[in-house]
Chains A and B, each alone.
Chain A
Amino acid sequence: MSRSTKKHIFAALKIIVAGVLLIFQVYPIFYVIMSSMKTTEDFRKLASYALPGSVNFSNYIKVFTTSPMVTYFKNSIIITVGVLIPLLLISFMAGFALSKIQFKGNKKVLSYFLLGLMLPFQVALIPLFTIFNKLNLLNTYPAVILPQIAFSLSYSIQLFYSFSKFLPDEIMEAAIIDGCTPFKTFFKIVFPMSTNSLLTVATMQGVFTWNDFINAYTFTRSTNMKTVTLGLNDFVGFMGTTDWGATFAAITVTVLPTFLFYFFTNKYMLGGLTAGAVKG
């Protein structure tokens, strides 16, 4: 076989492998979106992998008219923002301080925070549930938001710790010589310098929070406090066995926001993972 035929065969093989892997990773979502446009008739007559007979959005209308999807979205947005802002602020401050300030016990404090990476979140659910119950906090935003912040701290601190190592000391020293207090230096100099790191952690934790199941499932009971993920779970429990079209439309509706968000910010999400895991 000549060199160039061999090359062509390899090139073709690569395309085939890329395609197979792509189908494996992306087909389920393609299948959901296609099926969301199928009518009951389509489900009865067509094979499960067939495309819908025609494009119709009646399933979507059904999702929004038969379930409080708008409330679910409102709750998910409030909870995600409510987790992200405090989480970013306090984990950045802690990660930055642990990586840039030398003090006695520095390493011990870091290990203390990183211990949380090994603790299963479910363990905290029983005590937190009883405490929230006593304080009448069940079915409130803080009951969902606070544990989520606490259990995301370990990972976020680890990421900010690795990122902060790359911040040049000279700029901060210059700010201090110019009379900035440490707090002012942090917020006026370090914060704006770190937009990339902040976006990285924000996108990752944002998707995790949006997708959270167990936290919201345990601490909220009433419909008007449910998040998008819980809403989907309920909707499927209600419609799942009978109305497949509506179920697929509901899945699409809940997945699309994370999807769009991911495609716009994937640079940060993928970058953060590598920084956190490889250098951590």
Chain B
Amino acid sequence: MQNSFGRKKVILMFLLPAFIIYTLFVVVSVIWAGYYSLFDWSGVGDKTFLGIRNYVHLFTKDTIFWSTAAHTLVYTIICILIQVFGGLVFAIFLTRITRFRAGLQTLYYVPVVISSVAICQIFTKLLSVTPIGVINAVLSIFNPDLAFMEWISNDALSLPVAAFVEGYKYLGLYMVIFYAALIGVPKELEEAAIVDGANVVQQYLHVKIPYIRPVIVANCVLVLNGSLRSFDISYLLTKGGPGNSSELMSTYMYKQAFTSMKYGYGSAVAMAIVAICLIVGLVFRKITERGDEE
């Protein structure tokens, strides 16, 4: 097989189509954005060469960018808590039930297949104040004041609410991955733990969860990557507001370019996002690799 498939021409035929499209649209685009980031440009007319002045401004004067970076960090932490911990709890629960397991798994996954536009609309209505939405209506049973609780237009809450909705949408995805990992834990390990007198909680804490540690780390990387570049929920649910309270790096970049027509500056923000994503991704990959060697 190696003789027949291993020829240069064959390898090229298999790899070239993907290589060309990927390079042209993904890699060249990023490099191109790097080129734009050196200019002052509104998308039409002449570009004015600025050198690194966009970056100097971004790193020294642009306080909004740094607040969006902080928001992205908070957003990512909330998403990791919901998706990784929530997903793990859902998955552990699934392994404990005997009947309707496949059906429940299918239904628990439902939010993942709903588009962000629809999810945001649904939550806008659920969290509505006028008329009183389901969540406030239910909360007001316990405390009547909560009927008028603002969620989305409250600058202290809009960021956590957006992060919660994002976490909620993708929780099912991580549940499925954890579930597959948990049922892959060798039966002998569980039996050995039972012989040693471990109860159910101890089995999970000391045997199963340590065994699937690589999957937990891998999921953290996935959530991290997903949250660092998440866009839809903040853009659609809270519109980044009120004020800039739920603006993320990616929505800030988008608005700089396509709303304020600052293509050059928007590109500089984009490059900062790429740098942050790559650094975080590579650092995490290093940690994962070290974990695998143990």
Enumerate chain A interface residues (CB-CB to B < 8 A): 14, 17-18, 21-22, 25-26, 28-29, 31-32, 35, 43-44, 47-49, 89-91, 93-94, 96-98, 100-103, 109, 113, 116-131, 133, 146-147, 149-151, 153-154, 157, 169, 172-173, 176, 181-183, 185-186, 207, 210-211, 213-214, 218, 229-230, 232-233, 236, 240, 244, 247-248, 251, 254-255, 258-259, 261-263, 266, 269-270, 273-274, 277-278, 280
Contact = CB atoms under 8 A, between A and B. Distances in A.
Interface in B165-198: 171-173, 176-177, 179-181, 184
A146 B25 contact: yes
Contacts of A124: 25-26, 29-30, 33
A102 B273 CA distance: 35
B231 interface: yes
A48 B132 contact: yes
Of the candidates A21, A31, A247, the one having the most CB atoms from chain B within 10 angstroms of its own CB is A21
B1 interface: yes
Tell me the dominant secondary structure on chain A's binding face: helix
Interface in B133-167: 133-134, 137-138
9 contacts: A25-B107, A44-B131, A101-B2, A172-B1, A211-B113, A244-B125, A258-B113, A259-B113, A278-B218
B215 A278 contact: yes
B30 A28 contact: no
A48 B134 CA distance: 5
B137 to A, nearest CB: 5
Contacts of A263: 106
A236 B121 contact: yes
Given A28-B111, A254-B115, A274-B180, A18 B93 contact: yes
B115 A258 contact: yes
A29 B114 contact: yes
A182 B104 CA distance: 44
B21 interface: yes
A21 B93 contact: yes
Of the candidates B1, B104, B181, the one having the most CB atoms from chain A within 10 angstroms of its own CB is B1
Contacts of B277: 118-120
Given A232-B117, A278-B177, A150 B93 contact: no
Given A90-B17, A255-B114, A126 B257 contact: yes
Contact of B176 (A21, A169, A255, A274): A274
Tell me the dominant secondary structure on chain B's binding face: helix
Contacts of B133: 48
A185 B28 CA distance: 33
Nearest to B135: A48
A54 B263 CA distance: 52
A150 B24 contact: yes
B203 to A, nearest CB: 15
Interface residues of B, number: 94
B225 interface: yes
Given A100-B5, A124-B33, A113 B118 contact: no
B14 A273 contact: no
Given A35-B125, A103-B11, A127-B33, A255 B270 contact: no
Given A28-B126, A35-B125, 13 more contacts: A17-B93, A18-B97, A93-B14, A94-B15, A100-B1, A118-B277, A118-B281, A121-B229, A130-B43, A149-B25, A213-B115, A214-B235, A270-B105
B13 interface: yes
A277 B218 contact: yes
B245 interface: no
B4 interface: yes
Interface string B226-249: 001101100110000000000000
Contacts of B273: 120, 122-123
B108 interface: yes
A117 B225 contact: yes
Contact of A25 (B15, B32, B172): B172
B68 interface: no
Contact of B254 (A91, A100, A122, A259): A122
A87 B281 CA distance: 25
A51 B79 CA distance: 32
B121 A247 contact: yes
B232 A278 contact: no
B222 interface: yes
Nearest to B100: A18
A121 to B, nearest CB: 7
Given A123-B273, A153-B18, A101 B26 contact: no
A249 B229 CA distance: 31
Given A116-B22, A213-B236, A263-B106, A93 B15 contact: yes
A101 B6 contact: yes
A21 B108 contact: yes
A269 B105 CA distance: 12
A128 B266 CA distance: 14
